[in-house]
Amino acid sequence: MSRPLSDQERRKQISIRGIVGAESVAELKRGFNRHLHFTLVKDRNVATPRDYYFALAHTVRDHLVGRWIRTQQYYYEKDPKVGAVGYGGNRLRTGRGAGNPPTLGPGLWLGWEPWEPLGCEPSLRAGIGGLAGLGFFPCFLDSMATLGHLQPRYEYGIFNQKIRDGWQVEEADDWLRHGNPWEKARPEYMLPVHFYGRVEHSASGAKWIDTQVVLALPYDTPVPGYMNNTVNTMRLWSARAPNDFNLRDFNVGDYIQAVLDRNLAENISRVLYPNDNFFEGKELRLKQEYFVVAATLQDIIRRFKASKFGSTDSVRTVFDSFPDQVAIQLNDTHPAMAIPELMRIFVDIEKLPWDKAWDITKRTFAYTNHTVLPEALERWPVDLVEKLLPRHLQIIYEINQRHLDHIASLFPNDVDRLRRMSLIEEGDTKRINMAHLCIVGSHAVNGVAKIHSEIVKTQVFEDFAELEPEKFQNKTNGITPRRWLLLCNPGLAELIAEKIGEDYVRDLSQLTKLHAFVDDDLFIREVAKVKQENKVKFALYLEKEYKVKINPSSMFDVHVKRIHEYKRQLMNCLHIITMYNRKPPRPEGTGCPRAAPAAPGYHMAKMIIKLINAVAQVVNNDPMVGSKLKVIFLENYRVSLAEKVIPATDLSEQISTAGTEASGTGNMKFMLNGALTIGTMDGANVEMAEEAGEENLFIFGMRVEDVTELDRKGYNAQLYYDRLPELKQAVDQIKSGFFSPKDPNLFHDVVNMLFHHDRFKVFADYEAYVKCQEKVSELYLNSKAWTKMVIRNIAAAGKFSSDRTIKEYARDIWHVEPSDLKIPPPNEPRDAGQDKTPNGTAA
């Protein structure tokens, strides 16, 4: 029989902030027990921690539903501009529910995490990726006053990463196996999506016929705003075979084939393609991308045509006002098929003239570029598109012809320019350049950090920017302080609130007020104390989960990134080997590189993971090193793990080659949580240095212009190897099998890449990186000076709120004014507090 919980334990499970009436607490308990008994059919004798979580989740959802419905009523009645965020066919992983921790009544905050002991994080794990999982996307959901029409509801995420004998092993991420208490299926809004077939032209226009139909079933998840009664909707789509799918085969006895065909149709939302930074032209991936695009656009047009709440009748039949009512943001090229699909709907179905349809389409779409790596930009083979989406290929050809005619009229006889700007790339395999399609079909194009946007304009899409310079903008990414400070680091959040008040949660720019406390000895000690408490908690977690004991007083040097050569985990690894070789290493330095998984098919990334673990095996078991240096690779990096790692970090590694990282958002999370940054002038690091002062970051290495000059001269890794003895020693150890005695040639491919195929120039920045790390060690020994620099960084983090980013998108791209109007709660009249009409966005 389990012992009763202490008062302190109970407070940990359900905490109440603000003034909450006893009736609200009693109601919460009644709801919890009701769902435990009547929804889950369990009592406390047999209920598991997961059952308790599900009962709690259903209870919270009950409290959200009234606000959810009222929000939709409000959007329909006010008919504001509709926002759709395109992230089609790619990744989504928003952590434990999107948006904010739900608030029940005036200030009731749930902080109970009974799933933690099980390790059953109930994340919305329809996939994972830098952008969608831990990057900008969940933060934008939190900040937007929109409904996001998103992507397939994958039954399996990318994978769960396990490390076995130092190697990455992928296991199926069956995130829906226990159900999802937050989502609501909407079969009444199921929509058909067409594939294959052929196109028939007649006097009345083109007709796409003899297609294979797959049904798109929407699942809605509530996304609560922060203390404003707004509950928006995240919509995911699941593929379903039609009921009559191959019924003929079934009737003649070929039951197995009928079932197999049905499974084939539903595979679209079974599992996603994982490669984040390497494009592979696979048919299933194109199907996934078009599937979400087609379903979403049908849904948007249905909503556009209906203007009354609950109405299914089409009342708008003229599309002139479509761009005034609808804004669609294409995040990267994954939803690019939305452009020809909307043209197909306008021209083939709604019978609009081409020119009018194209004008409406361009004014509706905007495109955000998230990568400058050429191998990551999608280029679909023409043959594949012709087979899968024959009408769309015709439309793309027509768009391209008109586009090239325009270019030719401006630049006569410039054939090379026509080739560079064409949507169709000629060669052994004819391909469609999807980034070019996005630029041509959008009214605005933006990068996600100042330096990235400049590279987009001057290098990646130089010809397009020269043609339409006004089209190109910058929108620096941001993070939500609700999840990435209040929720994951309550001690620091509370400490800040005591000094500057609680309004910074909604207006992060108020953090600048902390500059007044940089020399406050008491505040310095309190900030250091919060950090130390977070480190102690994380050290205990590491000891429990990884059986590695680390000294909480040592520096927690953390590298959190997807494994990719441009993020240069190898340079960090070379520095760890250098510290190891120096014995004793830097004072109380704990190097802890951590990374999100490598894509399953990415050989070099897997070799880098194996190398890091091989180095860790040697370092952590060397008695001469003892507790001075420990190296840990944390497997299966995810939102719940990030919420432990980030508050405990002292030093954040942001060391990509200058000009390769679009923005980064991890750098912002670490900065907000009191970590100092060692990094190159790349991505958002540049703006972080502008805000905090370059002297308050550890900046090293080549700038973009230095990289360009080195490319021009030719990068020769051998020169650095010959000149730098410590680099030579570290590389020779990897090459000779010092870290892989059972297989001395294990890391041959890694060494070969570093010498002969390293586009990201690890050796060129190695010396500056090691010297900068020495400055880090020196400052860390002076706790007061270190903490003062930490406070300056936190005070400068206000720019990097996703609230600011979304306001910029709203004003500059979607042409709407964000509203701070608070929708009345369900227990108040619907017109309460609505004496002004907002111009906010909705869907």
Q: What is the 3-state secondary structure (H, E, C) of 36-59?
A: HHHHCCCCCCCCCHHHHHHHHHHH
**Residue 38 and residue 58: Cα distance in Å, rounded?**
11
What is residue 243's three-state secondary structure? coil
Residue type, 121: E
Q: What is the pTM of this model?
A: 0.87
Exactly one of 562, 575, 586, 638 is catalytic; name it: 562
Helix spans in 222-282 (H): 247-251, 255-266
Q: Give the β-pairing of 365-368 and 326-331.
A: parallel
- From 185-194, 342-351, 373-382, 403-412, the region with the lowest mean pLDDT: 373-382
Q: Is 305 a catalytic residue?
A: no
Q: Tell which wins on pLDDT, 92 or 760.
A: 760
**Cβ atoms < 10 Å from Cβ of 829:** 8
The C-alpha atoms of residue 689 and residue 687 are separated, in whole angstroms, by 5
Which residue out of 482, 561, 788, 792 is catalytically annotated? 561
Region 650-673: mean pLDDT is: 95
C-alpha–C-alpha distance, residues 136 and 98, integer Å: 12
359-368: average pLDDT: 97
Task: Look at residue 436 and give its three-state secondary structure.
Answer: helix
pLDDT of residue 116: 43
Q: What is the DSSP letter of 470?
A: G
By C-alpha distance, which of 416, 398, 312, 293 is closest to 355? 398
Give the lowest-confidence range in 173-177, 570-574, 620-624, 829-833: 829-833
Confidence of residue 191 (pLDDT cuts 50, 70, 90): very high
- Is 567 labeled as catalytic in the residue annotation? yes
b/e sequence 770-808, b meaning 16+ C-beta within 10 Å: bebbeebbeebeeeeebbbbbbbbbbbbbbbbbbbbbeb
pLDDT at 149 over 60: no
Yes or no: say if 475 and 805 are a contact pair by the CB < 8 Å rule: yes
User: Do 524 and 787 form a contact (C-beta atoms < 8 A)?
Assistant: yes
pLDDT number for residue 809: 94
What confidence tens digit (pLDDT) does each residue in 767-801 have?
999 999 999 999 999 999 999 999 999 999 999 99
Q: Which of 669, 761, 788, 799 is catalytic?
A: 669
Active site residue 628: no
Which carries the bigger pLDDT value, residue 659 or residue 158?
Answer: 659
For 36-56, write each residue's pLDDT tens digit: 999 999 998 999 999 999 999
Indicate the average pLDDT of the chain: 84
Q: Tell me the pLDDT tens digit for each residue of 477-499.
A: 999 999 999 999 999 999 999 99
Q: How confident is the model at residue 156 (pLDDT cuts 50, 70, 90)?
A: low
Pairing mode of beta strands 160-164, 167-171: antiparallel
Output DSSP code: residue 599.
P
pLDDT at 127 over 50: no
Q: Which residues of 754-763 are buried (b: 16+ CB within 10 A; e: fewer)?
A: beeebebbbb
Look at residues 196, 218, 221 and name the one whose alpha carbon lies nearest to residue 209: 196
pLDDT over 60 (residue 155): no
With 90 as the cut, is the pLDDT of residue 571 above it? yes
Q: Exactly one of 368, 578, 665, 841 is catalytic; which is it?
A: 665
Given the residues 96, 285, 287, 370, the one annotated as active site: 370
Would the pLDDT of 733 be above 50?
A: yes
Residue 5 has pLDDT above 70, yes or no: no
Which CB contacts under 8 angstroms, 24+ apart, belong to 480-483? 480/100, 480/138, 480/139, 480/142, 480/143, 480/801, 480/802, 480/803, 481/505, 481/508, 481/672, 481/801, 482/100, 482/101, 482/142, 482/226, 483/95, 483/100, 483/138, 483/139, 483/142, 483/643
pLDDT tens per residue across span 83-116:
666 544 333 334 445 556 443 333 333 334 433 4
pLDDT confidence band for 20 (50 / 70 / 90): very low
Which of 403, 475, 535, 567 is an active site residue?
A: 567
669 part of the active site: yes
Question: Distance from CA of residue 835 to its chain's centroid?
Answer: 37
Pick the residue with more confidence: 250 or 369? 369
Percent with pLDDT over 90 in the chain: 63
